[in-house]
Amino acid sequence: DAGVIQSPRHEVTEMGQEVTLRCKPISGHNSLFWYRQTMMRGLELLIYFNNNVPIDDSGMPEDRFSAKMPNASFSTLKIQPSEPRDSAVYFCASSRPASGVATNEKLFFGSGTQLSVL
């Protein structure tokens, strides 16, 4: 089975440019999460979707960040304009919620996108 697929693996861009990160969740998983990881702040939840609907975007740093999930097999995280402080590893993860309780159990992570904004 294919796991969570993220692209690109590495992205180097200049300040002010638009960056689009892509994610394909595991088939059958109906929750999708975007996390950002830095040395200083660890893994931070940016946004998560359930059945393609954004449920909690309180972690999105500012209006420069936006995320979409047009269908069950694809999501994007866009940064426009990008800034050097956006440099981090961005992980996408998916899960299949446990039945009966609105908790998210095992997360399957993609390999991440290493973003460097110069």
Partner 1 sequence: RKEVEQDPGPFNVPEGATVAFNCTYSNSASQSFFWYRQDCRKEPKLLMSVYSSGNEDGRFTAQLNRASQYISLLIRDSKLSDSATYLCVVNMYQAGTALIFGKGTTLSVSS
Residues lying near partner 1 in the complex (CB under 8 A): 31, 33, 35, 41-43, 45, 48, 55-56, 58, 91, 101-107, 109-112
Closer of 33 and 117 to partner 1 (Cβ): 33
Nearest distance from residue 58's CB to partner 1, in Å? 8
What distance in Å separates the CA atoms of residue 29 and residue 17, rounded to the nearest whole number? 32
Closer of 25 and 110 to partner 1 (Cβ): 110
DSSP state, residue 29: -
Q: Which of 4, 11, 9 is nearest to 92 (CA)?
A: 4
74: left (phi over 0), alpha (psi -120 to 50) or beta: beta
Closer of 14 and 56 to partner 1 (Cβ): 56
Closer of 57 and 81 to partner 1 (Cβ): 57
Nearest distance from residue 16's CB to partner 1, in Å? 28
Q: Which of 56, 1, 54 is nearest to 25 (CA)?
A: 1
